[in-house]
Amino acid sequence: MERRVTIGDYEVSIQAEQSYDPADPALAVGYVVRYSIVRKDGRPVRADLLRVHSYDLIEGISYFQSIDEALDYGEAKARHDVATF
Protein backbone atom coordinates (compact mmCIF):
# COMPACT_ATOMS: atom_id res chain seq x y z
CA MET A 1 0.00 0.00 0.00
CA GLU A 2 1.31 3.47 -0.82
CA ARG A 3 0.40 6.99 0.23
CA ARG A 4 1.75 10.09 -1.53
CA VAL A 5 1.78 13.48 0.18
CA THR A 6 3.19 16.90 -0.57
CA ILE A 7 4.95 18.65 2.30
CA GLY A 8 6.01 22.16 1.29
CA ASP A 9 8.59 21.81 -1.50
CA TYR A 10 8.82 18.02 -1.08
CA GLU A 11 7.00 15.01 -2.49
CA VAL A 12 6.84 12.04 -0.15
CA SER A 13 6.05 8.44 -1.01
CA ILE A 14 5.14 6.26 1.99
CA GLN A 15 4.92 2.48 1.60
CA ALA A 16 3.50 -0.03 4.08
CA GLU A 17 4.27 -3.71 3.65
CA GLN A 18 3.08 -6.87 5.38
CA SER A 19 5.77 -8.67 7.41
CA TYR A 20 5.88 -12.37 8.16
CA ASP A 21 7.35 -14.47 10.97
CA PRO A 22 10.78 -15.77 9.84
CA ALA A 23 10.09 -19.04 11.69
CA ASP A 24 6.69 -19.45 9.99
CA PRO A 25 6.55 -17.62 6.63
CA ALA A 26 2.79 -18.18 6.40
CA LEU A 27 2.19 -16.22 9.64
CA ALA A 28 1.67 -12.47 9.15
CA VAL A 29 2.96 -10.49 12.13
CA GLY A 30 2.02 -6.94 11.11
CA TYR A 31 3.26 -4.12 8.91
CA VAL A 32 6.45 -2.13 8.43
CA VAL A 33 6.60 1.28 6.78
CA ARG A 34 9.24 3.25 4.89
CA TYR A 35 9.26 6.54 3.04
CA SER A 36 11.25 8.43 0.43
CA ILE A 37 11.45 12.20 -0.06
CA VAL A 38 12.29 14.21 -3.19
CA ARG A 39 12.14 17.92 -3.95
CA LYS A 40 9.44 19.03 -6.39
CA ASP A 41 11.98 21.18 -8.27
CA GLY A 42 14.44 18.30 -8.75
CA ARG A 43 17.20 19.85 -6.64
CA PRO A 44 18.99 17.72 -4.03
CA VAL A 45 17.19 17.10 -0.76
CA ARG A 46 20.42 17.07 1.26
CA ALA A 47 23.93 17.88 0.01
CA ASP A 48 24.14 15.82 -3.18
CA LEU A 49 21.29 13.41 -2.39
CA LEU A 50 18.41 13.69 -4.84
CA ARG A 51 16.25 11.37 -2.73
CA VAL A 52 16.22 10.55 0.99
CA HIS A 53 14.98 7.11 2.09
CA SER A 54 14.05 5.85 5.53
CA TYR A 55 14.83 2.39 6.80
CA ASP A 56 11.96 -0.01 7.50
CA LEU A 57 10.17 1.45 10.51
CA ILE A 58 8.15 -0.22 13.25
CA GLU A 59 6.60 1.17 16.44
CA GLY A 60 9.26 0.61 19.12
CA ILE A 61 9.68 -3.16 19.10
CA SER A 62 6.24 -3.98 17.62
CA TYR A 63 4.92 -4.19 14.09
CA PHE A 64 1.97 -2.01 13.13
CA GLN A 65 -1.32 -3.88 13.30
CA SER A 66 -2.96 -2.03 10.40
CA ILE A 67 -1.92 -0.44 7.13
CA ASP A 68 -3.40 2.91 8.21
CA GLU A 69 -1.39 2.86 11.46
CA ALA A 70 1.79 2.21 9.49
CA LEU A 71 1.08 4.88 6.86
CA ASP A 72 0.16 7.48 9.50
CA TYR A 73 3.37 6.76 11.40
CA GLY A 74 5.45 6.98 8.21
CA GLU A 75 3.84 10.28 7.28
CA ALA A 76 4.52 11.75 10.73
CA LYS A 77 8.16 10.64 10.55
CA ALA A 78 8.51 12.07 7.02
CA ARG A 79 7.02 15.40 8.16
CA HIS A 80 9.53 15.48 11.02
CA ASP A 81 12.36 14.72 8.61
CA VAL A 82 11.28 17.48 6.19
CA ALA A 83 11.18 19.96 9.08
CA THR A 84 14.92 19.34 9.63
CA PHE A 85 15.92 20.29 6.04
Three-state secondary structure of 52-81: EECCCECECCECECCHHHHHHHHHHHHHHH
Q: Whole-prediction pTM value?
A: 0.90
Please state, in angstroms and rounded to a whole number, the distance separating the CA atoms of residues 23 and 72: 28
**pLDDT given for residue 13 in this prediction:** 98
**pLDDT given for residue 52 in this prediction:** 94
Going from N- to C-terminal start, the domains of the chain cover 2-83
Interval 28-69: pLDDT, tens: 999 999 999 999 999 999 888 999 999 999 988 899 999 999
